[in-house]
Structure 1
Amino acid sequence: MRKRKLLPALAGVTIVSAIILYVAFYFVFLDFFVDLWWFRSLEFEAYFWLRLLYRFVFSGAVTLFFFAIFQFHFWIASRYLGLNPPDEVLLDDKKRRRFQRFAEVFMSGSTKVYTPISIILAIVIAVPFYQQWEDALLFFFGSDAGISDPVFDRDISFYLFSYPIFMLIQQELLFTASLVFLATGLLYWLEHIFIPNQDKQFPFGAKIHLTVMFAFVVLFVEWGFILDRFTLLYNNSREPVFFGPGFVDLRYQLPLIWLSILTFFMIAASAVFYVFSETHRSKTPIIISVLSFMAVLGLQNWNFIPTVIEDLVVNPNPTRTEGPFMGYNIDATLAAYDLNNIKNIDFPINLDPTKDIENWSNIKHFENIPVWDRELLIDSYQQLQAIRPYYQFMLVDEDRYFIHNHIQQVNLAAREINIKKLPKEAQNWENTHLRYTHGYGAVVSPAAQDADIPIVWYLRDLNMSSDVGFSVKHPDIYYGQEKYSYAIVPNNLVVKDISGSNGNDSPGYQGNSGIPIPSYFRKLLFSFYFKDEKIFFSPNISTESKVQIRRNINERISILTPFLHLDKDPYLVIEKDRLYWIQDAYTLSKLYPVSQPAADDFLDGKNEFNYIRNSVKIVVDAYDGNVDYYIADPKDPIINAYSRAYPGLFKHLNEMPESLLSHLRYPRDLYYMQMKIYAKYHQNSPALFYEQAETWQYAKVDGAPILPYFITMDFGRCNNQEEFAMINPMTPVNRDNLSMVGIASTLDDSQCNNGYKPNISIYKFPKAVQVNGPSQVMALIDQNPEIAGQFTLWNQLGSEVKKGRMVILPMGNSILYVQPIYMLATKTKMPELARVIVSIGNQVVMDKTLWAAFERLKAKFVKTASGSSSGTSGAKP
């Protein structure tokens, strides 16, 4: 019978043990070793151990610290200070034995009861520290930024590094001190009640102990009040006017915080005095202190007085009372978003653009005006250059290369593998992981092309044909933007005619990336890791094979450095030896004091921040998967802290190969976000900022904003040197006329070389002159009879007319508009560049080539140069 009763218990223990072993094997042992092997394959093993060391040593030290606090106080309370027998008890053997018998019950509890309780409490309290261990890392390795906040005159590094960890420490220490105070007080009370023959007077030692614990509680509460001052710097009650503290916050709420600190200290002091006072005990000081503290808290939470101050003091003269605080917000926001060094240039407009047109009669200016939109070009790439069903172009990138003896802007895209494009029956394990393992090569075409002719190719086909000098030794793409599964290469399969352009056997993988599989044991572990027995039993996997995992570049970088926030648009760079991906990465913080929080449409929309730096450029080898990190902004205190914490992880930008350095660019997403902020904060005086009379918005066409776009032009900054820059047009809020054109570039205009020096220039137009915005130019195009008639004709011939992105260029002292016109075939939807429209002022011309259209536009202005107003680029309102 006993055996039968034991069977269910034994079965339960067996099941629980099996579950524990399963979880430990799959989620601890396997994950740990695969991560270790993977980091080792990338030569980041030291960094891997360092991250583990920081996380667990810090968390373990915190757990041990809190365990020591609980254990020490419980041990003291149970062993010494609570035992207080009178002298006659100690002299009477019977009473003494009875007293000792009961006392030992409490004293032994120090080991039997309080130790596990202390361990559990310590672990619970240490959990938030484990979750925020990287905040602690920045706290220890951060340094001064050299910038002070305008309200409390503290270095910005205090808010970026110290403030978040101080808030966490204060909360946890206050909770710990309160818990220890209550628990030890309860323990003393139990000892005093249940142990017989105790003195009626509470032990003096217990009073001292509890007083010390009470003092710690008071200290941590006061620290919390002190930290509460800094929450005023993130006050959003003044929005949408401005962000941060206002007159009421700093002239009314801040003094009340100091009063709450004082009155709470008075409560603590009067309570301690009352406990230790042998005579003249009076509760009056305690009552007065408590009432004072409650009154201060009431004033803090009573809206009547702040409302009166707002109505009688602030609102009658807001720019005077709130002006200094608006200035704090403006200065902090410009600094936090790296907008302090924007160059503002007054751009006078020529009412007669004839002279500007004549000065621009040089074909060099037109060789880089992009008339192909990358959003439309990808369909042409896919249909014309994918060639094999299993290849796919994810995105079209823009870049510049030295072609035809000068810098020329191009569009390019990587030809990546997509196994899902194969027939269903071919999507088997061997094809997926051993055969169709990588993409192949790239395509390149000029950004500026003539219309009504086939696309010009600078690099094309699977034989990597190029007439302009593109050549790649290893064009295979094992790492890219596609969602790749794991691959095992090289292997024993003979692969024919998958990547190459002929029927010869494709060469096996010759790179160094991947995790080696030198033994059956490791094959077995990978079979368990991927839950796929074919890895172990496949005869095509040799001892030379390596497992390539995490082949999506975003996933790869995010696992390596999860503290970096990645730009949404990595781009391809073609080199002689192989292909590379360049990924922009950001450091963010939401604790920059008095800075306006960013909108939620940046990156993945999940990041709350009010400070950003494009601090890192990451290069990923598309063939080997190697990842290199380069610090692009050495003034960023956050990346400097990480660099000190992880020595050897980050390189200086001057260590980047020149061939890659010349392809760095200003991130499009960053520029978009910065201009959304600058559209309001360029009004940098409190009076203008309050009026908001010059607030900008993105220029729109058909209700959609024109987002920043790249162009390679000579903007007259460096001896006729062309630069790869982004254009961003903006109009006044709720108006269509153009206010400014922003240009973001990386050209070092002080050295006039390819050195990386991000900068933004804003060309502002006179307020008294009407400058047509994109939507106004679009209206002129739609109203042009010749153009409208041509569009109607094309739409009747089974094609769909599609207007491309409107390109806006400062030209001398005039503004040139260029808009490509595409025709989309009804069946294939493949776009064809049909015409190009150019416009200056109120004149609009369409032709097959950009140069021909410009010449026609020039002829129109020459005819009207005698004084006709129809050719002016603006008229006074």
Structure 2
Amino acid sequence: MLAVLVIGFLVFSNLFTDVLWYDQLGFLPVLTTQWYAVVAMFLVGFVATGLVLWLSIFLAFRSRPLYQKLNSQLDRYQQVIEPLRRLAMIGLPVLIGIFVGVSTAARWSVAVQFFNRTSFGQVDPQFGLDVSFYVYELPFYRGIVAYASAIVLISFLAAVATHYLYGGIRINGREVRISRAARIQIAVTAAVYIALQAVSIWLDQFATLVDDNGIFTGAAYTDVNAGIPGRAILAGIAVLVAVLFIVTAAVGRWRLPLIGTGLLIVSSLIIGTVYPAIVQRLTVVPNAKSVEAQYIERGIDATRTAYGLDDIDVRPYDAVTTASPGALREDAQTTANIRILDPALVSQTFSQLERVKQYYQFQTHLDVDRYRIGDTTQDTVIAVRELKQSGQSNQSWYNNTLVYTHGFGVVAAYGNKRTVDGQPEFLESGIPSTGELGDFQPRVYFGENSPAYSIVGAAEGSAPIEFDYPQGGEDSEANADFTFDGDGGPVLDNVVKKLAYAIKFQSADLLLSDAVTDHSQILYDRKPLDRVKKVAPYLTLDSDTYPAVVDGRVVWIVDGYTTTADYPYSSVQQLSSTIADTYTPTPDYPLDDVNYIRNSVKATVDAYDGSVHLYAWDTEDPILKTWQKIFPSTIEPASAMSPELTAHVRYPADLFKLQRAILQTYHVTEAGSFYSGDDAWATPLDPTQASGSAKAQPPYYLTMQVPGSDKPAFTIYSTYIPKSQTSSDNQSVLTGYLTANADPGKDYGKLTLLTLPKQDTVPGPGQVQNSFNTDTEVANQIALLERGSTQVKRGNLLTLPVGGGLLYVQPVYVQSTGETSYPLLRKVLVAFGDQVAFEDTLDEALDVLFGGDSGADAGDTDAEGDGSDPGVDPGTAPGDGGTEGSSLDEVALAKALADYQKALADRTKAYQDGDLVAAAQADQRMQDAIERAIDITG
């Protein structure tokens, strides 16, 4: 009894805390709707199974021969079973009913979608049925048939066993005698089972439209001309056999149904296997390209529609491979915005410069966004300074739960700038945060690395106990304290709640600590993805959650997808393997296969109070409409998003990767070429990774003007190479360039595919990286940079369609091998065609390639080359606000001499530290300063 009470309270505490969590967040209907659906489905499965199985056993026992003498073996069986008969007649149906009920409960989503289904407004080309039939109805019908078949089969076996044990079925040698009652029950049960198989076979006709046949998904020539008609015939034969079993129940002859069953088996082999094989071999194989053409066209059209590729803008791009002076003039804005900061390499730099204390941390891979700075939109690398509890020395429950509860602030750097010594140029930094992002709530209670749970809040007037941020310098012991004043979690205002959470988190301290008061709140399930997944269980979430400073708050933006794998004729992709690349590891758990996807929801999670908002982004998506019927009032319209939040929405990376994967094959729209596979593409491997371990090159975000567009836009892009060259040859040429407009507005999500001429050889990323690695001058300079205790790290290799061709840009970082070292951006590699330049700044490298006319010199030379402020008037001396009457030459000369003095001091210090690389760089800066001074003085 005690064990039952303990288990009952454990279950209660789990359910109770779920109710508290959802209720506090305002999504309690999501939980209760799921509960109602799960309970209803469980009861349907339990009652249907239990009742049918009990009825089958009951009828068999009730109709047993009362005075039939059994053999001694059966007598012994009866003696053993009879004392347990009543228990078995109830217990067996209940036990099996529970198993079936649990199984049906797990399919609650299929049922609720069926009863709330929404039409797609599109019909399949084979049967003329709306796509919703395949997405909602067919899975529901097939599920019912499968469960009903299992229940009837179990009931049939139970009836046969009961009749045998109680003499309704007797076997004497080769003679089998069946009583009239047994015959009727067994024959009727068999008839029902065969009828269900007839329905299953009939439904299998429609399932061929979502089956993968190897070349494409959907019904091919053999399916349409042999498989589908064959299934209709087999379903008719199965109905006939079911009728014969009913006849047997009436007249008592088993010969006809047994012959019919044999006919059904033989027919299934001939009609279902042999005949389609003959059609495939004699008709399809010799003429596959022609006979499969119309079905391939069906697959192409359906796949492009299901993945949102039917409106893609395909443009031929005759890329030149020779740089010419002034070629970048029309692309000045694109080149001025080229992101030279690699978000995958600068996390360590952010940590060393902005972590401040050991109990803070940044993500390994930072995020790319854009912010309005003054009159321009600036690509930005941004990170949240999150809490790292393992970094604080006293690992007590009190500290981990009550004191160290949150991170603090964001750090953001210009994507296209660096300081003179190669560090990121921050536009938001420090504790407390200062910079260009304005005033905002900096505390981060909900993030990607938040603790499992924290207890926050206190009565008004109580002394704060939460550590907020360190005050003073790095070595200062003064700390600012804080008390959470938001609504972030359930309030622990009674002993029942405290006890429930003490059980949930297995912590007696939570129940016993005096610091946990009736005003305390408990924060848990704090990762943005976890919170959105719980309130929107029907969504597949993008793997890349990113932060944004919006309306005075730090919010996490999460992209949500509605998906299905039942769209007729659309190619199926495994999402987990498709999104894997250098930045995104293959998920630990496989994601669902999909053949239809829409970015239907934009979700936000407030980093301070954890509040979740779901916005309907794709209002035309029928799957989203269906779920809105199931969970009404949980999704807000996109119009509810503030303009500032909307400005930070971007085209999601996982969707783009999925579309990129589909277009590797489905960029071909002519059936013959598609079948031949003579123009299949592949995503190149990341050339910056070691050979043999490289994954797909990730898509990159940056602001650029795509050829054919009116103006620059925040864009995500990727490239293609011929598929045949990926396995053994990374020296591959470029065949395509895919972009998606990531800026909200009328062009949001516009896909553009630039196709390169097949007769020209435009180098791909692998070939360009090889050129960088083997270029003599580059190799010599790299060797110089790697002298001593330093190593060179190559950043992301960007590809931009500018200057009438394709420009490659790669930042080069240098990092000391010391314990506290971090990467510094020292050089930039660029390539155009077969020309390569390796300079200190991007502008210098572009000038080398394009004859001193990069078209972008005014945009970022100062910020990138020497760290000065590009907004300072050139006639004003830095630091003193200018001297009235001073000429530009005098100011410039003073600046050159000051730079020389600074470089001389840096060189002296570098020699003292034994850093030959820094000394060589300081020498170069001294030389540059002297040359500028000579030019000024003539």
Q: TM-score, normalised by structure 1?
A: 0.84
Task: State the aligned residue count.
Answer: 802
Cα deviation, residue 251, structure 1: 2.5
Alpha-carbon distance change, 65 to 298 in structure 1, aligned in 2, over 3 angstroms = closer
1:839-854 → structure 2 map (5 Å cutoff):
839-854=831-846
Matched, 1:265 2:232: no
Q: How many percent identity over aligned positions?
A: 25
The residue aligned with 2:640 is: 655
Describe the superposition over 1:162-215 as per-residue Cα deviations: whole angstroms up to 9, x where unpaired: 222222211221233344456567767888869xxxxxx999998777665454
Which position in structure 1 is the counterpart of 2:415?
Answer: 447
Asked if 1 retains the 8 angstrom alpha-carbon contact of 2:226 and 2:279, the reply is no
Are the counterparts in 1 of residues 56 and 158 from structure 2 also a CA contact under 8 Å? no
Residue 706 of structure 1 corresponds to 697
**Alignment match of 1:252 (pick from 197, 211, 226):** 226
Question: 1:515/1:693 Cα in 2 relative to 1: closer, same or farther (>3 Å)?
Answer: same
Q: Aligned-pair distance for 1:544? A: 1.5
Of the three residues 742, 758, 766, the one matched with 2:738 is 742
Query: After superposition, where does 1:588-603 map in structure 2 within 5 Å?
Result: 588-599=563-574, 600-602=576-578
| Alignment pair present for 1:295 and 2:266 | yes
> 1:714 deviation in Å?
3.1
Query: How big is the alpha-carbon RMSD for the aligned residues of Structure 1 and Structure 2?
Result: 3.3
Matched residue, 1:437: 405
In structure 2, the gaps of 5 or more residues are 68-83, 170-176, 473-477, 580-586, 726-730, 855-938
Tell me, yes or no, if the aligned pair for 1:437 and 1:487 is still in contact at 8 Å.
Answer: yes
**Which aligned pairs between 1:761-840 and structure 2 lie closer than 5 A?**
761-827=752-818, 828-840=820-832
Kindly indicate whether residue 309 of structure 2 is the aligned counterpart of residue 344 of structure 1: no
- More divergent stretch after superposition (799-808 vs 144-153): 144-153
SS at match of 1:389: coil
**Counterparts of 2:312 and 2:156 in 1: how far apart (Å)?**
56
Q: Is the 8 A contact 2:42 2:105 kept in 1?
A: yes
Q: Is contact 2:707-2:801 (8 Å) kept?
A: no
8 A Cα contact 1:357 1:858, kept in partner = yes
2:30 is matched with 47
Please give the residue correspondences for 1:167-206 in structure 2 after superposition, counting only pairs within 5 Å.
167-180=142-155, 183=158
Residues 802-848 of structure 1 deviation map (CA, whole Å, 9 limit, x = unaligned)? 22111111115222221111111121441111111222222222222
Of residues 565, 570, 590, the one that matches 2:545 is 570
Structure 1 residues 783 and 505: alpha-carbon distance in aligned structure 2, compared to 1, 3 A threshold: closer
* Distance in 2 of aligned mates of 1:286 and 1:539: 78
Q: Which amino acid letter does the alignment assign opposite residue 723 of structure 1? A: A
Deviation for aligned residue 1:741: 1.1
Matches of 2:362 and 2:284 in 1, distance apart? 58
Match of 1:150 in 2: 125
CA contact (8 A) 1:350 1:813 kept: yes
2:358 is aligned to 389
The range that moved more, 708-717 or 689-698, is 708-717
Once the two structures are TM-superposed, the CA of residue 404 in structure 1 deviates from its matched residue by: 3.1
Deviation, structure 1 residue 427: 0.9
Contact 1:579-1:623 at 8 Å conserved across structures: yes
Q: Which residue of 2 aligns with 1:634?
A: 619
Spell out, residue by residue over 1:742-791, the C-alpha distance to the aligned partner (whole angstroms, 9 max, x if none): 11123466x46xxxx32211111122222222223233333443322211
| CA distance in 2 between partners of 1:132 and 1:420 (Å) | 41
Amino acid at match of 1:257: R
Q: Say whether the 8 Å CA contact 1:451–1:849 is kept in structure 2.
A: no
Given the alignment of the two structures, is residue 463 of structure 1 paired with residue 432 of structure 2, yes or no?
Answer: yes
- Corresponding residue for residue 653 of structure 2: 668
CA drift of 1:542 comes to: 2.4
Give the Å deviation of 1:416.
Answer: 0.3
Which residue of the other structure, out of 38, 41, 48, is the alignment partner of 2:21? 38
Partner of 1:96: none
1:439-518 matches, cutoff 5 A: 439-450=407-418, 452-453=420-421, 454-466=423-435, 468=436, 470-491=437-458, 494-495=464-465, 498-502=468-472, 503=478, 505-518=480-493
SS of corresponding position for 1:836: strand
1:222 and 2:198 aligned: yes
Q: Which moved more, 1:443-452 or 1:410-419?
A: 443-452
The separation in 1 between residues aligned to 2:196 and 2:229, in whole angstroms, is: 20
Give the Å deviation of 1:38: 1.0
Task: Give 1:678-717 correspondences, 5 Å limit.
Answer: 678-700=663-685, 701=687, 703=691, 704=694, 705-715=696-706
Q: What is the match of residue 865 of structure 2?
A: none
* Post-superposition offset of 1:548: 1.0
Is residue 782–residue 792 contact of structure 2 (8 Å, CA) maintained in 1?
yes
Provide the secondary structure at the position in 2 that maps to 1:763.
Answer: strand
Aligned to 1:373: 342
Aligned twin of 2:911: none
Do the aligned partners of 1:434 and 1:493 also contact (CA within 8 Å) in 2?
A: no
For 2:571 and 2:102, the matched residues in 1 are separated by: 31
Secondary structure, aligned partner of 2:240: helix
Letter of the structure 2 residue corresponding to residue 228 of structure 1: D
The superposition leaves residues 598-649 of structure 1 with CA deviations (integer Å, 9 ceiling, x where unpaired) of: 1441462512413222222110000000111112222333222211101111
Return the letter of the residue paired with 1:729: T
Letter in 2 for 1:813: G
Asked whether 1:399 is paired with 2:399, we answer no
- Tell me if structure 1 keeps the 8 A contact 2:650–2:743: no
What amino acid does structure 2 have at the position aligned with 1:464?
A: S
Q: Does 1:159 align with 2:134?
A: yes
Question: Matched residue of 2:432: which SS?
Answer: coil
From 405, 419, 439, the equivalent of 2:389 is 419
**Which ranges in structure 1 are unaligned for 5 or more consecutive residues?**
1-16, 86-108, 195-200, 863-877
Equivalent-residue separation in structure 2 for 1:365 and 1:282 (angstroms): 82
The aligned residue for residue 20 of structure 1 is: 4
Mapped contact 1:356–1:811 kept (Cα < 8 A): no
Q: Which amino acid aligns with 2:650?
A: R
Q: Following the alignment from structure 2 to structure 1, what is the Cα–Cα distance between the partners of residues 328 and 492?
A: 68
Q: In the alignment, which of 714, 720, 725 is matched to residue 724 of structure 1?
A: 714
- Which whole-Å CA distance do the structure 1 matches of 2:630 and 2:120 have between them? 17
2:847 alignment partner, one of 844, 850, 855: 855
Q: Is 2:34 aligned against 1:63?
A: no
Give the AA of the match of 1:441.
G
- Preserved contact between residue 267 and residue 289 of structure 1 (Cα < 8 Å): yes
Match of 1:620 in 2: 605
Q: Secondary structure at the match of 1:360?
A: helix
Match of 2:590 among 603, 606, 617: 606
1:606–1:619 distance in 2 versus 1, CA, 3 Å = same
Which residue type is aligned with residue 616 of structure 1? V
Q: Residue type matched to 1:614 in 2?
A: N
Any idea what the Cα deviations from partners look like across 1:42-99, whole Å, max 9, x if unmatched?
11223322221121133224433444445566667777x88999xxxxxxxxxxxxxx
Distance 1:709 1:270, change over 3 A: same
SS in 2 for 1:345: strand
Amino acid at match of 2:636: K
One-letter identity of the residue aligned with 1:665: R
Equivalent position SS for 2:385: strand
Residues 354, 858 of structure 1: 8 Å contact kept? yes
- Give the TM-score taking structure 2 as reference length: 0.79
Question: Equivalent residue of 1:573, what SS?
Answer: strand
In structure 2, the partner of 1:14 is none
What is the CA distance between 1:311 and its match in structure 2?
Answer: 3.9
1:140 pairs, out of 115, 122, 133, with 115
